[in-house]
């Protein structure tokens, strides 16, 4: 059997010189402890300085419950007439969040709170992007939508969060009025047509002698046109009422209020991670410096180090 000691002694000298054991590592750390400590403290001090200069952020939130579906007066009438209640505006969670995140809402908020000046941006698009980065809009499984806004000013954070609700109500109102106006215009046109048909049926009935065989048919046609006209008139009136009513309401469960304290940030973690990073850089620097010292002192590697220096620096 071969002797481990003899096997180790049989290794090339350059290979034994390149091996670094735990004792060598401890000696290296001891030799360069002040450099490693200095780099670590410098990284921690830089992190602390950056954290101190970071403005304090306050977060305010509002919770709302949007109407699942607008319920105009015509819905009840159509249900009674057997026409169903479909075809009306659907303000479900996804559509509602899309409206909250729309450029229309963002532009109104930017102008309302002069966010271009607050965020220090010249372009409207940049202000919208900054607002989006400071806002979080999520929908829970229970259908409740939470709007969070972060800002350096706690009063402004709460005001912007509540303003999201105001602006989306305006958007919903415009949609609702447009839909109601379209229905009112449609039924108004149909009402004119049915009125003409009812007039024609009445004239035909007056011209038909009561003793003739066609009088029964003329009477039935007049009654039919009269019923259709009444239905159209009721739908026209309900559409006209819906046009004058408010848009579907948004229920505010928890109104945004100015937060009492700043948002908890991971400042301590940032400093710790920066210090650890500085320590790692310090160890790497010490390791490279020790490796270079060994290379200079080793005749077998001096020529290789010289070639590396020449290839890197060109001289």
Q: Where are the domains of the chain?
A: 21-53+267-313, 58-188+246-254
Q: Which residue has the higher pLDDT, 107 or 188?
A: 107
Residue with the bigger pLDDT between 262 and 187: it is 187
* pLDDT tens-digit map of 197-251: 989 999 988 888 887 888 888 999 999 999 999 998 888 888 888 766 655 567 8
∠ CA 152-154-159, nearest 5°, is: 110
58-188+246-254, CATH topology level: Bacterial polysaccharide co-polymerase-like (3.30.1890)
- Which of 87-91, 98-102, 123-127, 309-313 bottoms out in mean pLDDT, i.e. has the lowest? 87-91
**Looking at the chain, how many residues does it have?**
315
Distance CA 160, CA 34 (A): 51
Higher per-residue confidence, 228 vs 299: 228
Cβ-contact 205, 219 below 8 angstroms: yes
**pTM for the whole thing?**
0.52
pLDDT band of residue 80 (cuts 50, 70, 90) is very low
Measured over the CA atoms of residue 205, residue 207, residue 212 and residue 213, the dihedral's sign is negative
CA distances from 59 to 103, 135, 155, 167, 262 (A): 22, 9, 10, 20, 7
User: Which are the contacts of 178, defined by CB distance < 8 A and separation ≥ 6?
Assistant: none
The mean pLDDT of 177-199, rounded to a whole number, is 83
Residue with tokens 């210090």: 275
- Residue 112, pLDDT > 90, answer yes
């Amino acid at each position: 059997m071969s002797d481990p000691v003899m096997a180790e002694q049989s290794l090339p000298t350059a290979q034994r010189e390149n091996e670094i054991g735990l004792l060598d590592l401890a000696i290296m750390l001891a030799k360069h402890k002040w450099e490693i400590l200095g780099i670590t403290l410098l990284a921690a001090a830089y992190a602390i300085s950056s954290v101190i200069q970071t403005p304090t952020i306050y977060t305010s939130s509002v919770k709302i419950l949007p109407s699942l579906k607008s319920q105009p007066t015509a819905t009840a009438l159509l249900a009674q007439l057997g026409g169903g209640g479909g075809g009306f505006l659907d303000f479900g969670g996804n559509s509602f969040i899309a409206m909250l995140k729309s450029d229309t809402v963002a532009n109104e908020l930017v102008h309302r709170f002069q966010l271009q000046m607050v965020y220090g941006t010249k372009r409207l698009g940049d202000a919208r992007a900054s607002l989006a980065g400071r806002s979080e809009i999520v929908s829970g499984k229970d259908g409740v939508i939470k709007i969070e806004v972060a800002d350096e000013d706690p009063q402004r954070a709460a005001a912007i969060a509540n303003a999201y609700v105001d602006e989306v109500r305006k958007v919903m109102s415009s949609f609702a009025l447009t839909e109601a106006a379209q229905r009112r215009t449609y039924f108004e046109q149909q009402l004119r047509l049915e009125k003409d048909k009812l007039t024609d049926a009445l004239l035909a009935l007056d011209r038909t002698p009561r003793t003739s065989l066609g009088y029964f048919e003329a009477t039935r046609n007049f009654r039919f046109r009269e019923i259709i006209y009444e239905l159209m008139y009721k739908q026209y009136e309900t559409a006209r009422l819906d046009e004058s009513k408010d848009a579907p309401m948004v229920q505010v469960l928890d109104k945004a209020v100015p937060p009492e304290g700043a948002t908890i940030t991971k400042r301590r973690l940032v400093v710790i991670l920066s210090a650890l990073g500085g320590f790692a850089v310090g160890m790497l620097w010490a390791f490279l410096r020790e490796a270079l010292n060994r290379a200079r002192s080793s005749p077998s590697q001096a020529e290789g180090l010289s070639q590396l220096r020449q290839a890197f620096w060109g001289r």
